[in-house]
Each structure stands twice: as C-alpha cells, then as structure tokens.
Chain A
Amino acid sequence: MAKYILKRILISILTIFVLVTITFFLVRKLPGDPFSSEKMQPQIKENLIAYYGMDKPLLQQYFTYLNNLLHGDLGYSLVYRGRTVNAILGESFAYSADMGIRALLFSTIVGLLLGIIAALRHAKAADYACMIVAVIGVSVPSFIAGYVLQYIFAIKLEWLPPAQWETLSSTIMPVLALGLGNLALVARLMRANMLDVVGMDYIKTAKAKGLSPFQVTTRHQIRNAILPVVTVMGPAVANLLTGTFVIEKIFSIPGMGRHYVSSIQNYDYTTVLGLTVFFGTFLVVMNLIVDILYGIIDPRIRVSK
C-alpha cells in the first residue's frame, strides 16, 4: 500500500510539473500581451515590461518562476497591482471552498437518499418522483437554476437576500444551485447501482440467512452500491470546491470562479499559472484520496494492486 501511494505521489508531482511547463509557454504564445489596452503608450508598456521582469529571456523567466514555485511563491498578479497570486487564490478559495463543501454535503446526502428511495421503491410513484428531480438536476444548467431561485425566493417572495455571502440565509440559494447537478448525478448513480446489486448472490444469501430487509439493505445493498459513487466524488469535490463563475456572478460571491475567466481574458500570466497549479494539484490530490479510500473500502482493489 505504502509503495503504491508513493508511486502515485511521484506521478502526481510529475503531472503538475508538466502542466506548469506547458501552461507557462502556451500563455506566453497567445497573440497580444497583458499590458495592452486602448490607452497604452509604447513608453509606458516598456516600463511595465521592465517592472515585471518580462524583458528577460523567456527561459530565464521560466526558471525564475519554477524556483519561486518551489518556494510556494506564485508571484504578483499583472492586473491587481501589488496583490500576490497566493493572496488572490487564498482569499477567493476560502469562499469557493465554503460554498463547495456545503453544496457537496447537501448534494451527496440528498442525492444518496433520493437514489436509495428510488431503488427501494423501484417503478413506483416515489421512484418516478425522485428521478424527475434527478433529470431536472442534470438538464437545468446551474445558472438557470440560480436565476430562477433568485427570482422566486429573493424578488417575489422576499424570503432570502438576493446576493452576497454573509449570513446563513444568503448561502442557501447559491448552495442549492451549485449542488443540483451533483445531486442528480449521485441520485441516478446510486439508484442504478442499488438495482444492479439487488440480484446478486450475496443479497440472496443474506436474505436466506434470515436477515431483516433493513439489515440487507443497509449492510449489503448500500455498502456495495456506494462504491462507484465514491469514484465520482474526487472530480466532484474538485469541481465544486474550486469555484463556479456563473453561480458566483449571479449571487455576487467573491470566489475563485471569476479568476478563471478574467485572468485568461486579461492575460494575467501569473494568475493563469497560479490557478493551473492550484486546480491541477487539487484534482490530483482528490483523485489520490479517492484511490486510497477505494482501497480501504474494497479489499479486492488493494490486493490486485
């Protein structure tokens, strides 16, 4: 197990290194430059290029960047003068993670419940009701859900504040809108898995042993059906926690999502790279955790590796 984890960690580090290298050179090859604007003057641009050390050879800049990266320094933003990328990512990730964790807990718990209920009441009214919720969750984009929720609960009913991330009540709508997609995914997956395992021999054995239906469901059916759900959790955690531009925009939440869009639009090289490193690392770590969890849940996987 330890050897396996070590190997995975080494591969992860290599992946991130390749990612940084490719991104570093790709953004620099984009036509245009970070300092251009309608009002930019040649002399001013020259001063700025020197200020940010971009007058040095590209390779030298690359090694400087790598060296700083090893020290955990992502550099200064080219747009927000004086702010470090570390500070930008740190502050905005705090909001995104807060929102993402709430959305993750909500969507996973409710999604699992819906999936289990649907499977136990297979082809009955409750099943259809749960699946209607799931289909809506999958097919309605989060920004539509966001606007609809905002319109109904903030503008028409005036129950909740329309935007900002301040009080508990202000977090309800963004969390609902953000979690809806994952909820649907989990519910459908859980339902399908529950129905898959219900015909397995071990379920029959458990029933034959005289276990109560409740025990069969909780101990055998759910335990085995939950495995594929854990698989999709890794990417889901990464996606939900690292910011979603549309939801942040609709509810005016200072999360990370906006930086994905604005940094690339503004050619804010350091922020683009910082986000790439951050998101890449996050995704890799999440997948690693899922793999390890997998091994714990299912001994067969551990043995085969």
Chain B
Amino acid sequence: MKKRLLAIIAGLMAVCMMLSACAPVGSNNTEEPSGDGTETGDTSEKVIRFSIAAEPPTMDPQIKTASPMAAVATHVYEGLVRVFDGEIKPGMAESWEISEDGLTYTFHIRDEAKWSDGQKLTANDFEYAFHRLLDPAVGSEFAYLAYDIVGAEDFNAGTTTDWSTVGVKATDEQTLVITLRNPVSYFLSFMDFTLYSPTRQDMVEAAGASYGSEAEYQAYNGPYVLESWEHDSKLVLVKNPEYWDAENITTDRIEVYVVLDANTGVAMYDAGDLDITDVPKDLIPAYDTKVFSDGGEYFIMANWHGMTEETGKLLSNPNFMKAIGYGIDRTAFIAATLGDATQPATRYNLPLLNIIDNAEGKQVNFNENYPLEAYPATADLEKAQEYLDLALEETGFTRETMPTFVYACRDADSNRLMAEALQDMLKTNLGINIDIQQMEYKQWLEIINQHEYDLTLYGWGPDYDDPMTYMDLWMQKPGGNMANYDNPEYTELIEFAKNTTDAKARADALYEAEQILLDGGPIVPVYFKYVAYVQNPDIGNIDRPFIGGQPKCMYATFN
C-alpha cells in the first residue's frame, strides 16, 4: 500500500519534471548574479541599464517603428545621418548635397563604413533597404512615410513593379541619390529614422520570414551590436568595434529590460538593477524625477458629420467647438487624471517642435517663432457661454434641446477616468451631456475609422521633427479623415506647404493652417504628454528626443 502511494507521488513528480525539461534554466544559470551585477570582471566597463514598457515587435528596421523597438534600433542601426540633441550630424553618409529645387539629395557614404561582421557597407545596402521598405510583398507598416520619394507610392501600391521608376539609386558604391516628388524641408533629419537604416540583402535572404525576430539574424551598422535578445525580458547591446566612430562611443554596454509594470521598474531602480526607468504618477512625489516628452499630443476630436444629423450640426459649428475649447479646464483635468508631469495644451503643435523657415536650412523652434494661444490652460467660462449661445442661435437648438453626444472611450481605466473628467466639465460648465461608451482598443479604432462617434479623446505622436507630422492629418482625403473635417482652405494651405521651396512661406502657411484648425475646427487640444522618469545621477548626456522619447545612451558621461 505504502509503495503504491510512493509510486503515485513519484509518477506525479516525473510528469512535472518532464514538463520542466524544456525550461530555459541554462540561459538563466549562465547569467551573472543579479542584484548589483553591473560591474563583472572589468570594473571600468561602462554600463547603462534602462527599461522599455513592451517587447519590441521586431528588429527589422523597415517593418515597424514602435517605440520599444526604436529604443534598441537607434543604438544598433545608423541611417545616412545621426541626430543627437537636435543636431544633424553625419552618419553613414559623411557628406551630402541638396539640389537647388530641394528635390535631389546626393549622399556620399563614408569609406570606412562597415557592418558588424566586418563587411563593407555600401550605397547598395541603402538602395536595397528602400526597396524592401516599399516592396508591397514585404508588408512594411510605415512604407507610406517614404511616399515623398518619386515613384514610391505607386511601387508600394503595386501599380508598378519596375524599381527603376523609384527615385532611389546607388550610382556607385559610395553614392546614393534620392529624388523627391515634392520638396521636403525636414528630409535630412528624417534620414535618422531607423526606418531608413541600411539592410543586408544576404542576411534577409538567409533568414527569410524570420528576419528581424532574433538577435543573430541581422548585421548591425550602428554604435552597438545586439548581442542577445531574451524575448519579453532583456536585450543586451555591446559596443560595435567596426563602427566608424567607435572611439567617441562612451558607453560600453547597454542592457534593455522589458518591464511591463512601471512600479516594478521603480523597484528595480531602487534595488540598483536599473539606471533609467519611467515613474508612474503615484510615485512621482517620492522621487527626484526628470521629465521627457514622447511627442504625444492629445485632443478632443469631434466627428464633423456627427453620428446623427443633430449632433453633426453642432459639432461642425465652429462656435460650438470653441465653447468646448474654452469650457474645459486643462490644468484641473491633468491634476485629476494624469498627474503633474503632463502639460496643458493651449495650441495644437507641440512646444518642442522645430521647423526650417530660412534659406540656410537652420531649424528653429516653431511655437516660439509662431506664437499662438488658442485656448487658456484653465477654463474661461464667460467666453465658453458666449460661444455656446452663439452656436445654439446658429443651429436652432436651446440648452434644453441639445442632443446627448456619444463619447467613444478606450478600455483602460485611465481612459475612463479622463472621459469622466471631461464629462463632468462639459456638464457643469456648459450643460453638454455626453454618453461614455467604453470599448476595446481595436474596436475603438474601428469606430473612429467608420466615423461612428461624436467625440473622443485622441492622441498623435510625431514621426519627424516638423509641424507637418501633426498637420497633414486633417487634409481632405478619400473616405474622409478621422474627424471628417472638410475644409478646402485648410487643405489648400497644407498642399501649398508640401510643395513650396520657400521655407518662410511654408512655415507661414502651416502657422495659418493651425489657426484655422483651432478656430472652431474639430480639434480641441487638451494636453501634451510628458513622462516622469528617474535616472542614475552619476550618468549624464543622455538625449531623449521627443520623437518616441527613448533614451540615446551612446555618448553618456559617467561620474
């Protein structure tokens, strides 16, 4: 009897052991002990460890641009230029010429450019990368960002398969010529984007569909090499000895941890396991935090046509939208929902945004040079009432007959909280009723695309450092933009800005367009997202560009 029982227990354990046989204990045991494991062996090794909030979807630079991926990609890849602290520096290209009409860019690839495996890097690697980016069969999610290149849109749509119609050519091993269909003033800084990193054809062909999914499938040309990638857990970057500027790279090793819970990130920082991590709002008061912007601009978006004729009538009325703009208290909204790192948005364009408005091609801050305060940071109830009265008069409604608006809300608790704060302000300050309908993220996107909503809180992040990245959203387009905004004057200004070579006229046009948009258009800016974070005080000179906001650690200083 006893033997039987023992046998059963042994059997159960054997099953468990069998199942655990596949556990990756090997990879765990080889790690150095955690805790203060930064300085193993060589004590002079400079290490930076930071957290990202999600697993990078791929390391294939042409496919996606998600910010957890960019945090790694910016260190292991390098485009034609490199932007650090807002300054455009030579990258893989040591020099370049831009034609008079601003349409032709000739890049000279540096002679010493090499891949991490020692192979020479040539202009052909760039041409191949652009080919991959635009090839519809590759399915890049961001190919459209390159549509300003001659023939790119047709090639990506599959209307032509003739690559020679596309304006990207490696004329010899050292020269890459890119031709644009319209002048793009920010094109040079845009070439820093990891989407435009060079790619090795032989590596892509060897890895096939798996390219980008593991550390070993790619060759790297940036300051670092991705040494290991433990999915959902940790990415280790080590200095690339083949990098042309390796002597100026100060950080020897970068460890990137996937930490889903910001509270855990802070606990790891406390324990000395991380050097940089985001701080959730409840913990901000307890830490000496810094803030960075991830470029997120959040606004109330109205469906110009409304879900019903009644709501559409009001939502497309400029005075009604202005009433909402003056009726919400942005400062109170932020205090009640997001915490104190975020800033109220009194205009549409992000304060950090730059523009080139001069013939010298120098970037200047947009908001400083083109000042605008469309709405106050706190509510102006008097003005709000005034505009509401006007709107009601023009549309024939009264305060009592105003319809209830459907507010499409995303699923997270934080979205619910923000929706309720807006609901409360609109009700108390203006007597406007909204019906909050909460739904899953994908469902919410579908609702927005199908224009089955009246109001929502929407956010937009930049792809490049120019107001256009926010502004061209509201042009007229087939099927309507997300807000169904249909203003020929606005569209004309954006079209003009997209085609002119006169930098000053372009900046003026964008400035005017922003004023039109905020003068009762479908957008009411609410806040600019800033994220609080902690950083090891012994580490300095880390750039966090607002495009994505991920830390660039290659030139860090150590005390």
Contact = CB atoms under 8 A, between A and B. Distances in A.
Instruction: Tell whether A and B belong to one assembly.
Output: yes
Contacts of A258: 232, 260
A70 interface: no
Interface stretch (B139-147, B167-175, B368-376): B139-147
Nearest to A42: B479
B210 interface: yes
A162 B270 contact: yes
Contact of A50 (B19, B136, B259, B267): B136
A161 B22 contact: no
Contact of B264 (A31, A95, A162, A267): A162
A219 interface: yes
B442 A266 contact: yes
Contacts of B271: 154-155, 158, 161-162
B34 A47 contact: no
A251 B273 CA distance: 13
A126 to B, nearest CB: 25
A289 interface: yes
A47 B442 contact: no
B28 A166 contact: yes
B442 A44 contact: no
A284 interface: no
A18 B290 CA distance: 53
B141 A82 contact: no
A167 B442 contact: no
Contact of B12 (A83, A87, A293): A293
A249 interface: yes
B231 interface: yes
Nearest to B5: A223
B213 A50 contact: no
Nearest to B35: A161
B58 A81 contact: yes
B63 A81 contact: yes
A47 B34 CA distance: 44
Contact of B143 (A44, A79, A84, A241): A44
Interface stretch (A57-65, A98-106, A185-193, A271-279): A98-106
A110 B14 CA distance: 19
Contacts of B362: none
A297 interface: yes
A155 B157 contact: no
A40 interface: yes
Interface string B14-35: 0111011011110010010111
A32 B445 contact: yes
B20 A81 contact: no
A44 to B, nearest CB: 6
B264 A163 contact: yes
Interface in B236-291: 257-261, 263-264, 267-268, 270-271, 273
Instruction: Say which size band chain B's interface belongs to.
Output: 35 or more
Contact of A94 (B23, B211, B459): B23
Given A32-B446, A33-B446, A163-B273, A47 B260 contact: no
B55 interface: yes
A252 interface: yes
A19 to B, nearest CB: 21
B555 interface: no
B127 interface: no
B141 A40 contact: yes
A76 interface: yes
B15 A254 contact: no
B58 A223 contact: no
Contact of A164 (B34, B142, B212): B34
A97 B440 CA distance: 30
A150 interface: yes
B156 A43 contact: yes
Given A48-B139, A76-B209, A79-B57, A163 B442 contact: no
Interface in A70-91: 76, 79-84, 87-88, 90-91
Contacts, number: 201
Interface string B431-468: 00000000011110110010000000011100100000
Given A41-B144, A80-B55, A219-B2, A163 B23 contact: no
B359 interface: no
Given A163-B264, A167-B33, A81 B60 contact: yes
Interface in A204-227: 219, 223
A92 B17 CA distance: 17
Most buried by A among B136, B232, B259, B260: B232
B273 A162 contact: yes
Most buried by B among A32, A34, A104, A167: A32
A250 B23 CA distance: 21
A98 B144 contact: no
A38 interface: yes
A164 B273 contact: yes
Given A40-B141, A249-B264, A293-B8, A83 B33 contact: no
Contacts of B440: 32, 265
B1 A81 contact: no
Given A33-B446, A44-B140, A293-B8, A38 B231 contact: no
A48 B141 contact: yes
Nearest to B7: A296
A1 interface: no
Contacts of B479: 42
B8 A163 contact: no
B64 interface: yes
Contacts of A37: 141, 445
Contacts of B442: 30-34, 36, 265-267
Interface in B166-218: 207, 209-213, 217
A163 B232 contact: no
Given A81-B57, A94-B22, A165 B8 contact: no
Contacts of B268: 162-164, 252
A12 interface: no
Nearest to B269: A162
A51 interface: yes
A257 to B, nearest CB: 10
A23 interface: no
A20 to B, nearest CB: 22
B22 A97 contact: yes
Given A88-B231, A167-B28, A167-B34, 12 more contacts: A31-B446, A32-B446, A36-B449, A43-B153, A48-B141, A81-B58, A82-B212, A92-B231, A98-B20, A163-B268, A249-B260, A297-B5
List the 3 shortest-distance A-B pairs measured between CB atoms, nearest first.
A82-B213, A254-B232, A51-B139
9 contacts: A41-B144, A43-B143, A47-B136, A51-B137, A161-B35, A162-B267, A165-B28, A170-B34, A255-B232
Interface of B: 1-2, 4-5, 8, 11-13, 15-17, 19-20, 22-25, 28, 31, 33-35, 55, 57-58, 60, 63-64, 136-144, 153, 156-158, 207, 209-213, 217, 230-234, 257-261, 263-264, 267-268, 270-271, 273, 440-443, 445-446, 449, 458-460, 463, 479
